[in-house]
Structure 1
Amino acid sequence: MTQIRGQKDLGIGVIYLALGLAGFIIARDYSFGTSGRMGPGYFPTIISGLLILFGIIAMLRGLMREGQPIGSLNWKGMALITLSVCAFGYLLETAGVIVALLALILISAAASERFRFELRAALGLVAFIIVCAVVFIKGLGVPMPLIGEWFK
């Protein structure tokens, strides 16, 4: 039997592999399309395939190379990251992409012990929201409201 040498690598590999397989199974019901004319299943299938590949590589590393053992879990960080994604999903339609991104970024940033809200961070936050709005809404035409119904 093979001995696990890198618990963290093996653990994250299993997570990547499981998420990739789940995404791949869900995406198979959508049409794939072509590179020039992507269908709704194109992006999820490609991302799922990459997750599966990275999962296999990470699992092999965990079996072949020495690595760190799995330590204690950061429950606060996991809860805040999950909350930030849920808040984004909830706020997107009702408050708009600006408020949803603001909530996503600030809540997830609070998960870091090193986060400090300073002028430089605030400017980066504003720039990131502007770039996301321009790229996704204007550039790619993703149907997301810039300003939600709460503010109309």
Structure 2
Amino acid sequence: MKIKSQRDFWSGLLFVLVGVAFAWGAMHYKFGGAAQPGPAYFPFFLGVLLALLGGLILFKALSIESDGGDPIGAIAWRPLLLIVAALVFFGLALPTLGLMLTLPAMVLMLGLASAEFRWKETVLYSLILTLASWLLFVWGLKLSIPVWPAMVGA
């Protein structure tokens, strides 16, 4: 069996592995039924769907010829590390800095990961995302997310 597209092969394999991991992890929770789904219902079926999608991508990688084998290029370390750092920063800083400071800082870090970074666009995106997140999670869903830094007390 010959791999005809390296990109599709490795991405399909990753989809299958992540999908199986989610479905397997969901097995430790209560399933429920279609009328009253339990906590395992959504992650299990989402994992199965992801694994099936990965299987289709793997099939394509092994059966449909692509130009030059569609090789995987070099790993873009700077964007990868900045994205991971931004997510870790958000998780660690949210309880103390609050949503209104943490989210714009995270969007700025994510913007720096792009080769096409522009200050004006990044600031605009951070404002829109922060407002939309506050409207959805704090005002709409009434989640108890700290909005302002702990020292402000709001």
Q: TM class by shorter-chain length?
A: 0.7 to 0.9
Corresponding residue number in structure 2 for 1:47: 46
- 2:63 equivalent to 1:61: no
Please point out which of 96, 99, 122 is paired with 2:98.
Answer: 96
Identity value in percent: 29
Which amino acid in 1 is paired with 2:80? Answer: M
The one-character-per-residue Cα deviations of 1:75-110 (angstroms, maximum 9, x if unpaired) are 111111111111111112222223332233221221
With over 3 angstroms needed to count, the CA separation of the structure-2 counterparts of 1:142 and 1:16, relative to structure 1, is farther
Corresponding residue number in structure 1 for 2:75: 73
TM-score (norm 1): 0.82
Which amino acid in 1 is paired with 2:148? Answer: I
With over 3 angstroms needed to count, the CA separation of the structure-2 counterparts of 1:150 and 1:30, relative to structure 1, is farther
With over 3 angstroms needed to count, the CA separation of the structure-2 counterparts of 1:117 and 1:26, relative to structure 1, is same
Measured in 1, the distance between the counterparts of 2:63 and 2:137 equals: 41
Q: Which runs of 5+ in 1 are unaligned?
A: none
Post-superposition shift, 1:3? 0.7
Measured in 2, the distance between the counterparts of 1:5 and 1:26 equals: 32
Corresponding residue number in structure 2 for 1:20: 19
Checking the alignment, whether the CA contact within 8 Å between 1:31 and 1:41 is kept in structure 2 is yes
Measured in 1, the distance between the counterparts of 2:34 and 2:136 equals: 19
- RMSD (Å), alpha carbons: 2.3
Measured in 2, the distance between the counterparts of 1:91 and 1:24 equals: 30
Corresponding residue number in structure 2 for 1:5: 4
SS at match of 2:119: coil
With over 3 angstroms needed to count, the CA separation of the structure-2 counterparts of 1:122 and 1:37, relative to structure 1, is farther
Which amino acid in 2 is paired with 1:85? Answer: L
Measured in 2, the distance between the counterparts of 1:19 and 1:127 equals: 31
Checking the alignment, whether the CA contact within 8 Å between 1:94 and 1:149 is kept in structure 2 is yes
With over 3 angstroms needed to count, the CA separation of the structure-2 counterparts of 1:106 and 1:48, relative to structure 1, is farther
Please point out which of 113, 116, 124 is paired with 1:114.
Answer: 116
Post-superposition shift, 1:55? 1.6
The structure with the larger Rg is 2
With over 3 angstroms needed to count, the CA separation of the structure-2 counterparts of 1:11 and 1:80, relative to structure 1, is same
TM-score (norm 2): 0.81
